[in-house]
Amino acid sequence: MVKWPFVSAVLLAVAVGACTSDAPIESSNGSAPPASTTTAAPLDTVDASTTTVPVELPVVFADPIDGLDEAQLERFLNGQFLFNEQWIPVGPTETANDGLGPLFNADSCVSCHLATGRRFVPPEGPLAEAGLVIRLAAGGADPVTNGPVPTTNYGDQLQDHGIGATEPEATAYTNYVVQTGSYPDGTPFELLWPTVNVRDRNYGELPGTTQLSARIGAQMIGMGLLEAIPDEAILAQADPADANGDGVSGRINMVWNPVTEQHELGRFGWKSNVTTLELQIAQAFHGDLGVTSTLLPEQNCAPTQTICDETPNGGTAEVSDERLGDIAFYLRTLGVPPARTEADAAATAGREHFTDFGCATCHTPSYTTAESVVPELSGRTIEPYTDLLLHDMGFDMADDRPDFDANGNEWRTPPLWGLGLIPVDDDRGLLHDGRARTIEEAILWHGGEGTPSRSRFMNASAAARAELLAFLESL
């Protein structure tokens, strides 16, 4: 991997710089917390893992893939600058970065993906900064797209900021409940069960049947490599009827592509609910920043909201195709830090446990990439540790919000590369809503198809558990 320290330095500098009352609608991701639990202290008072991180975040998650030429590196830097650029409302003087809002969650990409990594779970109380968004659905499926049906007065995502006199849609509040347990050998553990409620709603009532799903911003490394995994390699792993009887029935998510106007294999997003990298970026601009593009040209206002007609905007493509393309190139060529498994005997032993416990059944270790629009991504052997398929993760992790073919219990297997380099000064914010503060907690949340692997982990010796965690820390 070619080191490009100037890239990291630029990213760090920019990232640091960027950086009416009614009864609440509540959601606990589709499930009620156990009655025997007690209210948790704010997350910043809960001890996090003490594992040492060998490299700082802005260094390991900011470098390009190796093999790029000078022109490509220049485009990478330009895309990185745009990823960190702060968007502003439309004003009297036209600028390339105006068009924010009128409703939004963040004013830059980096607001939700600090240093192209992830944001961490906020403390209890109102969501004070970007990074955790609340997806909404009215229930049922759209007859054409098979996608979630937006709510009539709040759309499909809760925006907690507004431009000028524009009222934010509402405020989301988070709460955590402590769930305690112990391993068969008596070692105790503690999990945080998240609850989200929506208050201060300014555009009318949300029906009690509204489906809410908290989603945290994920890290962005290796997206071009995931994109280059052949469709047939993903399809070959799907086993929707569990024909081999191993208890794992991974499914693909066939997702509506508004550009091609047809259903295609999804591979991006927490539920594999996005088909292409460009569309993933356009959807983030649209939903998180309220910025339009040629892919999603309509302003991000719910059908009953009149604020879009009353607020100046930058037109049907507030982010140009060129700028969106440069961001896509940046994310497509954002590299993955090398694993460090062989340097540690415990990690080497943990790799065997990873297979023996059944983790590799869903977290597929390696692929060879197919032809990519960036030739340097083609024909590479990669180790992302994901099958990009949907898996039923059980009642405790369910959000009960279907997303195309994904039901409320299903989530995409997240890639594990770079897992051990996520800083531990803050909670690591793992899983779709960031509830897991550590890798160990993430394992213990596995239910549904993940139950056998979790059981093997729990029933293993303390030494074997430590070795598995050492392997995961080495990725």
| End-to-end Cα spacing for the chain | 15
In this predicted model, what pLDDT tens digit does every residue of 236-259 receive, in sequence order? 999 999 999 999 999 999 999 999
Does position 424 have pLDDT exceeding 90, yes or no? no
For the record, the structure tokens of 222 come out as 């290796």
Instruction: Give, as one character, the DSSP assignment of residue 334.
Output: B
Neighbours of 44 (CB within 10 A): 13
39-48, 107-116, 221-230, 457-466: least confident range: 39-48
Please tell me the distance from the alpha carbon of residue 151 to that of residue 438, in angstroms, as a whole number: 34
Q: What is the pTM of this model?
A: 0.89
Query: How much of the chain exceeds pLDDT 70, in percent?
Result: 86
CB 355 within 8 A of CB 347: no
Is residue 253 a contact partner of residue 404, using CB atoms and an 8 Å limit?
yes
Backbone phi and psi for residue 270, each to the nearest 5 degrees, phi listed first: -65, -20
Q: What is the mean pLDDT of residues 196-207?
A: 92
Q: Is the pLDDT of residue 31 over 60?
A: no
List the structure tokens of 13: 């500098």
Phi, psi of 255 (to 5 degrees): -115, 140
- Greater confidence, 27 or 275? 275
Model pLDDT, residue 28: 46
**Contact (Cβ atoms closer than 8 angstroms) between residue 228 and residue 370:** yes
Q: What is the pLDDT of residues 380-414, one digit of tens each?
A: 999 999 999 999 999 999 998 999 999 999 999 99
Would you state the pLDDT for residue 436? 93
Contact assessment for residue 55 and residue 446, using Cβ atoms and an 8 Å cutoff: no
Q: What is the pLDDT of residue 207?
A: 87
Q: Tell me: pLDDT of 72 over 50.
A: yes
Q: Transcribe 264-327 into DSSP letters.
A: EE--BTTTT-B--HHHHHHHHIIIII----SSS-S-S--TT--HHHHS----S-SS-HHHHHHH
Per-residue model confidence (pLDDT) at position 5? 35
| Cis before 102? omega within 30 | yes
User: For residue 37, what pLDDT is reported?
Assistant: 36
Q: What is the pLDDT at residue 130?
A: 73
Query: Quick check: 119 pLDDT over 60?
Result: yes
Confidence grade of residue 200 (pLDDT, cut at 50, 70, 90): very high
pLDDT (mean) for 44-60: 35
DSSP labels for 218-267?
Answer: PP-TTHHHHHTS-HHHHHTT--TT-TT-SS---B--EEEETTTTEEEE--
Q: Which among 130, 129, 110 has a CA at the least distance from the CA of 10?
A: 110
Mean pLDDT value across residues 40-46: 28
SS (H, E, C) 59-82: HHCCCECCCCCHHHHHHHHHHHHH
Mean pLDDT score of the chain: 86
What's residue 46's pLDDT? Answer: 25
321-333 pLDDT tens trace: 999 999 999 999 9
What pLDDT shows up at residue 29?
A: 52
Per-residue pLDDT band for 429 (boundaries 50, 70, 90) equals: confident
Q: What backbone phi and psi angles, to 5 degrees, belong to 171? A: -120, 130
Q: Tell me, rounded to whole angstroms, the distance of Cα 467 from its chain centroid.
A: 27
245-250 long-range CB contacts below 8 Å, 24 or more apart?
246/358, 246/361, 247/449, 247/451, 247/452, 248/358, 248/361, 248/362, 248/391, 248/449, 249/391, 249/392, 249/449, 250/362, 250/387, 250/389, 250/390, 250/391, 250/413, 250/449
For the record, the structure tokens of 144 come out as 């054409």
Higher pLDDT, residue 119 or 205: 205
pLDDT of 38? 31
Q: How many whole angstroms separate alpha carbon 421 and alpha carbon 57?
A: 7
**Bridge partners, residue 69, by sequence:** none
pLDDT tens digit string along 456-473? 999 999 999 999 999 999
Beta-bridge partners for 155: 151
The 8-class DSSP code of residue 375 comes to: G
Asked if pLDDT for residue 57 goes beyond 60, the answer is no
- Per-residue pLDDT for 319 more than 90? yes
User: CA-CA distance, 215 to 113, in Å (whole number)?
Assistant: 12
Give pLDDT, residue 36.
Answer: 35
